[in-house]
Structure 1
Amino acid sequence: MRISILSFCFAILITPFSFCQTQVLKGSKLNKPVEIVQWEVIDLVYTAKDNIIAPFQVEAYAVVTDENGTQNIPLFYNGNNQWVFRYSSTTIGQKTFEIKSEVKGLHGNKGNFKITENKKENRHGGIVLHDDNPQRFFYEDGSHYFNLAFECDWLFALDYGKQDLAKTKHLLSVLSDNNFNQVVMNVYSHDVSWPKDERLKKHPEHEYGGRQDIFPFLGSNANPDFSSLNIEFFKHFDRVISEMHDQEIVSHLMIYVWNKLVNWPDMESKADNLYYDYVIKRYQGFPNIVWDVSKEALYYGRATEEYISERISRARKLDAYNRLISVHDYGFCKKHPSEVDFISMQNWAHDIYTPMTQARNNFPNKPIFNIEHGGYEESPYVVFPGAYVDAEACLRRNYMCLFAGGYTTYYWQGASWNVVIHNPYETPNDFKKPHFEYFEHMSKLMNIVNFENCMPMPHYNRSGYNLTNKKDGIILMYAPKENNWVSANPAVEGEFNYSEATMQWFNTLTGALTKEEKYNKNDFRFWDQRPWRHEADAILIVKNLKQKKERN
């Protein structure tokens, strides 16, 4: 929930984001501490007394102080002579704040926060890195963040101009129910340049590209007015990000995109800087934000490496919360690893496992996130088929990213681009449905085996793929459905004592597990028909292993 507090000359309005009735408290100042819950987002809204000629250029910061130090958090302009101090806190306890600005109505406003401990079971804070396990993502409370992403570039458009976010909420709920905890998305996209499926003409409700009534600047994409920003666009976008926060879904926010026919201002122009800075100022307060400068940043000849580097530096200077930042461009990440917090990789290679393991080896101190692997599961419409559309082939590519030690992203052509079917399981019978459930099974398995402690050991692959958790004594062996047999013996014998070991099989399509039984080390079990052979890719799980003691 995002709480709004509007501080006027004569009143303080406390407005929950859920649009319930506004509670009005008399008084001109915050005369008691503002109580918020850890990782909850609150807006303090201040109205200036005088009209400001260039309000977006106003510098205003909230200096937040506690026993651990200070944060200088930028305010953002929200129209009608109002500036917003958006805040969330990782820590609990008492804090003070004071607004610093050349604007009289802003400067000198003071207050106190009282932050209480989070009690929401599935809320864990923002996404961070840990030095002692640098290739994994974690929440601020220390628990592992199993980054399972879904791309939905036009999420911003689903309910634009409407009072209710019915479509947005429904789609996010479907994703959340299937354990997706991140959406890779654009702030704004206009349209696609590739051919559109003729079937869309019969279902225009699924087409979101090309709308001229949605634009982050004044005017429209066809006739832009770069003199100012469209605040109504960002007010709507607030609601989308807030709903994602309520559903505990991270926004992997791509600030630019070059191949979606957006009429952008010139790079590094006044308008370009205004837009970029505004996005950073406005959304850094949400714990569920991860920055991405641009989708396919260097692919289309517009941006330079120098420009992307400057954008990263610019974001870091403005972002008082130090949210993670990367670039959807492996070429850039590879050349500038010190500038990004994690490596974003796009690779369509049939053997996706090999380049993923190479990236993991090349960047041992950063998580590897495959943001696009060329697998775009088929839908009722042919939107962008890429290289792989079969659901099982796409699933296998996602598993190969995991077994290479990285994280991964799933695409469904029915929601990842300009075509968005927000309620895929409520469509007619002849509409192809996404296999979101495959990824619910995946997520549950990776949580069971503590993926944060797993690492690939390719020298044990043999006829399958190895993923080993030495700390917890677990070995996984991935067996493609066409493979008759896979053995964990080399890894078991090479790394562990296995007198108490057990084994069972996992079906990647259904999530079914066979009965756990004592580990059988028979070297010639390929005469035994393994479960789901020729039916589904399966994973052999060997548990209760004990690490061998190192010899002196």
Structure 2
Amino acid sequence: METQIFLYSVYEIELNLELDNVVFTSPEDKQYIVNTFMKSNGKLSARCYIDEVGTWSYTLGETVVNIFCTRPSLKLHGKIKACGKNNRKLMYEDGTPYYMLGFECDWLFHIDDKDEQIPKATVLLNDIAQNKFNMVICNLWANDVKWKETGGRGTCYDFSNPFETPYQRNLDGTMNYDELNLKFFDRVDKIFNLANELNIVIHLMIYVWNKCVPWPKLFSKQDNAMFKHVIDRYAAYPNLIWDISKEALNSASGEQIKEKCNIARELDPFGTMLTVHDDRFCRQNPYAINIHSIQCWDYGIHEIMLEIYNNAKPNPLLNIEHGGYERGVYDVFMGSYDDPYICLERNYIIAFAGAYTSYYWQNAAWSIVIWNYHELLPSVRPNYHYYRNLYNYMEYMNYENAYPAPAHSPCQMCMDDGNYYYYLKLRGTRCVTLNNKNEHIDAQTLEWYNPLTNEFANTYTEEFKGYHAMPCPFNQEFSILRIKHN
């Protein structure tokens, strides 16, 4: 018997046999030992990631089953991989560039508590996909926030203290850590599947230590069972990045987190990219991770990110939390920056330091989740469209080929893609001023871009060398200037 499937798909089988694993053989004779896991219907299942065209096979008892992998679907590009100079860039497995743009939604798996049709997650994920967010950062289990003052409590958007968790509850509502809540994971499956259809990567933070989660003891039998189930169940998904822990060292040691990284590697036969939400851990353990995550709220974020870019080991860089939490209807958390403009500017500054970045809206990032932002008055809606502009411009500038370069300018940041220089002009400055005695620039038409309005404009500059000021047609607005190489 033979089944057909697209390249980069998840192939799932249900078993009538009691097996710990199923061995899949690829067309190039690679073998993948795929662990089984239990679903809520009482059936054992196994999922294999199909990454080669041709005939795959697996054996159940005396039956050999063949799977024929045909050409890829136009929507599927494979798992995320590192590429580029010093492994600082990301691409899909088929070579398509991946400009990572994250959207924080810690409570994503809880906003449809007990609703198997996931209506709220469906609205939210479709909205962010339409605005070019291609990664959602979420917790496997989030309970409540630790800070005392948070707006939105008691509203229909308050998803704190969810009943459904990765573990079952006893009749009195207390946790039963000896039994996994398989219906909870069935619902998570649906979110993974929908995100995959929308080309959204699930950045899955398995543990979190600052969301009041009553975890069982780390490395206990109950903890190990949950961790293994998660890896076995989701490793085959192409739209996945493992994040072992948010606030990683708050309640676990570096050695414990490193051991969890090792276990995830051993259980995952498909080599899914992995990170830890902690700059210190990533600096000290660069070969335990594939993506270096940074949390930094500092004002001088560009210099800090450049220092990491220039000195950290070869992994892509992700500033997963830069202190910019765009204000919403409810004040949920008082970070360093909540003005929509400043939050956007910090994302560009980080991008111009060669790193990927993420967006936080206070009314989606944590326990208060306004999934249907279209129903808000326009004056209080989040500025998702700013990030659609950001994504489109990074794609336009071929970010996969652009790297930080000396700006030779007192206040601008520069990227160089081999054909053009890109200068980031922050608000409050009127021009891009160059002062490089060794760089000769031909007379040319300059291209300017306004990230707020999505406008392009042209100005002209004569041939020059050394000090030269180029006025911006958008005056003091935040802008990007593109200058062609000689």
Paired letter, 1:487: T
| Aligned pair partner of 1:479 in 415, 422, 425 | 425
| Aligned pair partner of 2:191 in 240, 250, 253 | 240
- Taking structure 1 as reference, are residues 309 and 198 closer, same or farther at Cα in structure 2, changes over 3 Å only? closer
Q: How does 1:267-306 map to 2 (within 5 A)?
A: 267-298=218-249, 300=250, 302-306=251-255
Q: CA deviation at 1:363?
A: 1.9
Secondary structure (helix, strand or coil) at the match of 1:460 reads coil
Q: Over aligned residue pairs, what C-alpha RMSD do you find?
A: 2.2
Q: Residues 118 and 187 of structure 2 are in contact (CA less than 8 Å); yes or no, is this contact kept in structure 1?
A: no
Aligned to 1:506: 449
* Alignment deviations for residues 174-194 of structure 1 (CA, whole Å, 9 cap, x no partner): 111111100111111111121
| Aligned pair partner of 1:175 in 123, 128, 132 | 128
Paired letter, 1:530: C
Secondary structure (helix, strand or coil) at the match of 1:287 reads coil
Q: Residues 477 and 488 of structure 1 are in contact (CA less than 8 Å); yes or no, is this contact kept in structure 2?
A: no
Q: CA deviation at 1:487?
A: 2.8
Q: Distance in 1 between matches of 2:84 and 2:482?
A: 29
Q: CA deviation at 1:161?
A: 1.9
Q: CA deviation at 1:123?
A: 2.8
Moved more, 261-270 or 165-174: 165-174
Q: Residues 207 and 419 of structure 1 are in contact (CA less than 8 Å); yes or no, is this contact kept in structure 2?
A: yes
Q: CA deviation at 1:520?
A: 5.7
Aligned to 2:181: 230
Q: Distance in 1 between matches of 2:10 and 2:180?
A: 23
Paired letter, 2:3: V
- Taking structure 1 as reference, are residues 109 and 354 closer, same or farther at Cα in structure 2, changes over 3 Å only? farther
- Taking structure 1 as reference, are residues 498 and 123 closer, same or farther at Cα in structure 2, changes over 3 Å only? farther
Q: Distance in 1 between matches of 2:71 and 2:460?
A: 43
Richer in strand (by share): 2
> Is residue 319 of structure 1 aligned with residue 319 of structure 2?
no
| Aligned pair partner of 1:427 in 366, 369, 376 | 376
Aligned to 2:95: 142
Q: CA deviation at 1:235?
A: 0.3
Aligned to 1:468: 416
Q: How does 1:445-464 map to 2 (within 5 A)?
A: 445-458=393-406, 460-464=408-412
Paired letter, 1:380: V
Q: CA deviation at 1:416?
A: 0.6
Q: How does 1:27-426 map to 2 (within 5 A)?
A: 32-48=1-17, 59-99=20-60, 107-120=61-74, 122-130=75-83, 134-201=87-154, 204-211=155-162, 213-219=163-169, 223-298=174-249, 300=250, 302-426=251-375
Larger radius of gyration: 1
Paired letter, 1:113: I
- Taking structure 1 as reference, are residues 42 and 160 closer, same or farther at Cα in structure 2, changes over 3 Å only? farther
Q: Structure 1: which 5+ residue stretches go unaligned? A: 1-31, 53-57, 100-106, 547-552
* Alignment deviations for residues 20-56 of structure 1 (CA, whole Å, 9 cap, x no partner): xxxxxxxxxxxx21111112223211124xxx7xxxx
> Is residue 540 of structure 1 aligned with residue 481 of structure 2?
yes
Q: Distance in 1 between matches of 2:361 and 2:50?
A: 35
Q: CA deviation at 1:498?
A: 4.7
Q: CA deviation at 1:361?
A: 0.9
Aligned to 1:444: 392
Q: Residues 10 and 49 of structure 2 are in contact (CA less than 8 Å); yes or no, is this contact kept in structure 1?
A: yes
Paired letter, 2:316: P
* Alignment deviations for residues 383-416 of structure 1 (CA, whole Å, 9 cap, x no partner): 1121110111111111111111111011110101
- Taking structure 1 as reference, are residues 200 and 225 closer, same or farther at Cα in structure 2, changes over 3 Å only? closer
Moved more, 404-413 or 502-511: 502-511
* Alignment deviations for residues 160-209 of structure 1 (CA, whole Å, 9 cap, x no partner): 322422221111111111111001111111111213445544xx211111
Secondary structure (helix, strand or coil) at the match of 2:187 reads helix
Paired letter, 1:365: P
- Taking structure 1 as reference, are residues 413 and 499 closer, same or farther at Cα in structure 2, changes over 3 Å only? same
Q: Distance in 2 between matches of 1:167 and 1:416?
A: 15
Q: Distance in 1 between matches of 2:340 and 2:83?
A: 34
Q: Distance in 2 between matches of 1:79 and 1:62?
A: 23
Q: Distance in 2 between matches of 1:520 and 1:38?
A: 51
Q: CA deviation at 1:499?
A: 4.1
Paired letter, 2:304: P
Moved more, 126-135 or 353-362: 126-135
* Alignment deviations for residues 405-460 of structure 1 (CA, whole Å, 9 cap, x no partner): 11101111010110111111222456x21111111111111111111111112352
Secondary structure (helix, strand or coil) at the match of 1:339 reads coil
Q: Residues 139 and 208 of structure 2 are in contact (CA less than 8 Å); yes or no, is this contact kept in structure 1?
A: yes
Q: Which has the higher contact order (CA 8 A, sep 6+)?
A: 2
**What percentage of residue pairs aligned between the two structures are identical?**
31
Normalised to the residue count of structure 1, the TM-score between the two structures is 0.83
Paired letter, 1:359: I
Secondary structure (helix, strand or coil) at the match of 1:414 reads coil
Q: CA deviation at 1:500?
A: 7.4
- Taking structure 1 as reference, are residues 223 and 38 closer, same or farther at Cα in structure 2, changes over 3 Å only? same
Normalised to the residue count of structure 2, the TM-score between the two structures is 0.94
Q: Distance in 2 between matches of 1:228 and 1:401?
A: 43
Q: CA deviation at 1:227?
A: 0.7
Q: Distance in 2 between matches of 1:143 and 1:480?
A: 31
Secondary structure (helix, strand or coil) at the match of 2:87 reads coil
Q: Distance in 1 between matches of 2:462 and 2:67?
A: 56
Paired letter, 1:223: T
Q: Distance in 1 between matches of 2:161 and 2:462?
A: 58
Q: Distance in 2 between matches of 1:158 and 1:93?
A: 40
Q: Structure 2: which 5+ residue stretches go unaligned? A: none
Q: Residues 47 and 81 of structure 1 are in contact (CA less than 8 Å); yes or no, is this contact kept in structure 2?
A: no
Q: Residues 441 and 463 of structure 2 are in contact (CA less than 8 Å); yes or no, is this contact kept in structure 1?
A: no
Q: Distance in 2 between matches of 1:369 and 1:459?
A: 22
